[in-house]
Each structure stands twice: as structure tokens, then as C-alpha cells.
Amino acid sequence: MKKWLLLVVCYGWLACGWAGEARPIADDPVLEQRMTGLAEKLRCLVCQNESLAGSRAGLAEDLRREIRARMREGLSDDEVIEFLVNRYGDFVLYDPPVKGKTFLLWFGPFLLLLAAGGALLNVLRQRRQQPAPGVLSEADRARARALLSEEGEWK
Amino acid sequence: MNRFLWPLVAFIVLVGFLAVGLGLNPREVPSPLVGKPAPAFSAPVLGKPGEHISPAAFKGRVWLFNVWASWCAACREEHPLLMELARSQVVPVIGLNYKDKSPDAQAWLQKLGNPYVASAEDGDGRISIDYGVYGVPETFVIDKEGVIRAKHIGPVTPDVLEKTLLPLIRKLQQ
């Protein structure tokens, strides 16, 4: 009887709780989505390996606020990026732009790969030209014959 | 001999890159604003309600713009140096109080001393974003035409002051 009563009380208690659906914090979900999409391509300057979208740093929140404000003013995504790059430089972009300065950054590894590949080919070619060990050249063979046919001078 | 030459050259080149690279600070973000005019703003003056300050007021003088906050530990490190600089009257130091509360900021200055001619309040950090500030403290050297000539990230050390900032300030003041 007691157990049953306890159960009823517990269920009754639980039934009184009301859980609402989590309200989205942003007033404009479309803008928010656009902002987050852009912020994911940007770097948080404080925690420099996090994106601006995910970072919890104070500056990241401020920059997200600024992005929202610029977007509300009507700036396009490219213009917002320009706004940030003007203040923080190319580092704020996750993908460094391909321009004169970053040429080496983008193509350096491929150039190194080509150089290393070239060096490897060179070494292989040189190796092929050397006679295999154990195979004597004609001059060496004649010399060996001459030495072996000499009689016991070296004991 | 040739066999050893190329790997040796490659090694020396690599050591060269490493020597330079290890001396650099990977967290430092160079500012694209160096060489550009200091962004305009009009901010309330800390401790003087009703008054406003803007960079245009300092045209014709070389000045230091120092971003600080009462909650910033590193700002305490550079504070004695700024006090000395203010006392020497070589160059005026204007403060930018970053994301701080006015009573806290004023108390901090009262306790430690106020090296600033005036401090601009930047409660929401908007002015600092315009200046490309991403941490505190940061210091800008601004010339007579209002163009940013240098930016130092982190607390100002005697070394930086002697070797980098003061020579630049003296050159700009001529």
C-alpha cells in the first residue's frame, strides 16, 4: 500500500513539471544562420585554432555581434569579410587567399614534392649506370686475370 | 664530395628557416592598420561625464594610444613603464579603456596612478574592433597626421620601449 502511494505521489509530482521547448536566442534565425555560416570560415583571434562561430571568447562574441550588425545594415558576405580583413588582416580568414604573398604557402609543398621527385629520379638513374656489385667490368676482369696468373709473389 | 654537398646545403637552409621561425611569436597577428589613418571615434572620457574625446584632437602631435583594462593582469606589468613615460613627458599617452566598468577603471587608476592624459571609454569594445585590437594590452604609435605608425601587442617592456618605440617617436616628432 505504501509503495503504491509513493509511486502515485512520484508520478503526480513529475506530472506537475512543465518543460517548454528551448527558445532560440536569436531574434532573426535567417540572419543568425547566415552569420554562423560566415563565422565558420573565420578564425577566432584569441583561440586561434577555433572558428569564430564556435569560440566562446569575449572578442569572438563581439565580432559575431559586429557581423550581425553589418549584415543588418545590408552588407554582403564579401563586404563583411572585407570589413574584418581591413581590421585584422588575412589571418582572420581560415583559408589564406591565393595572392602573391601566399603563393609559396599554397604551392610550396607541391614544388618541394616535384624537387624531391626529381632528386629521386636522379639518384635512381645514377644507380642504374653503376655496374651491379659482383659484375666486373672488362678492365677489372683483365686485371684480375693478370694478378691471379702471377706466381706466388704475394704470400 | 658532391654527394654530401646538396644534403648539407639543404640542411643549412633548413636550419636557417628554423632559427628564424623559432624566434617568431606564432600568436602575433600583424596589423593591417599600420600606415593607415587612425580610425575616427568619439568616446566618453573616463571620469569626466559629458566630455568626449576623439583622435582628431591630437592632430599635430605624436601620441601613444594604449588599450588597457582594470581586469587585465598584463596591464599592471606595463603600468610602471607608462607612468615613467608620462612623467618624462616625451609623448602624451592616451588610454582606451577596453570593456571595463567606469568605477572599476577609475579605482584602478586611483590606486596605481594615472599615466594617461585622458582615457576613452570603450565599454562594448566597438572602437577597439575598429583598431584591430584582439587582446589587452596593446599600444599604438600615432603620428602628427593621425596615421598609425606602429602597433605593439602585449605589455610594453623596457626593451621594446628603448629599441623600437622611443626611436620611432623621436623620429616622428622631428
Residues 39-78 of A with CB under 8 A from B: 45-46, 48, 58-59, 62-63, 66
Predicted confidence pLDDT, tens digits, chain B (174 residues): 677 888 899 899 999 999 999 988 877 888 899 999 999 999 999 999 999 999 999 999 999 999 999 999 999 999 999 999 999 999 999 999 999 999 999 999 999 999 999 999 999 999 999 999 999 999 999 999 999 999 999 999 999 999 999 999 999 988
Ramachandran area for residue A57 (φ above 0: left; ψ -120 to 50: alpha; else beta): beta
**pLDDT value at position B37?**
94
Min distance B126 CA to chain A CA atoms (Å) = 8
Q: Which residues contact A134 (CB under 8 A, 6 or more apart)?
A: none
Cβ within 8 Å, pair A48-B27: yes
| Chain B residues within 8 A of A59 when measuring between CB atoms | 125, 134-135
CB–CB contacts below 8 A, A to B = 40
Residue A58: its chain B contacts at CB < 8 A? 99, 125
pLDDT value at residue B55: 94
Beta carbons of A66 and B129 less than 8 Å apart: yes
Q: HSE of B117 in the Cβ direction (CA atoms, 13 Å)?
A: 16
Q: What ipTM, to 2 d.p.? A: 0.82
Q: Note the pLDDT tens digit of each residue in A75-131.
A: 899 999 999 999 998 888 888 777 777 888 888 899 999 999 998 998 898 888 776
* Band (A21; pLDDT cuts 50, 70, 90): low
Strand duo B138-142 + B63-68: pairing: antiparallel
Given a cut of 60, whether residue A58 has pLDDT beyond it is yes
pLDDT over 60 at A155, yes or no: no
Q: Does the distance separating the beta carbons of A89 and B134 come in below 8 Å?
A: no
Which residues are CB-contacts of B39 (< 8 A; sequence separation ≥ 6)? B33, B55, B127, B130, B131
CA angle B104, B106, B112 (to 5 degrees): 100
CB–CB contact A66 B126 (8 Å): yes
Best A59, A65, A85, A112 residue to mutate vs chain B (most B CBs within 10 Å): A59
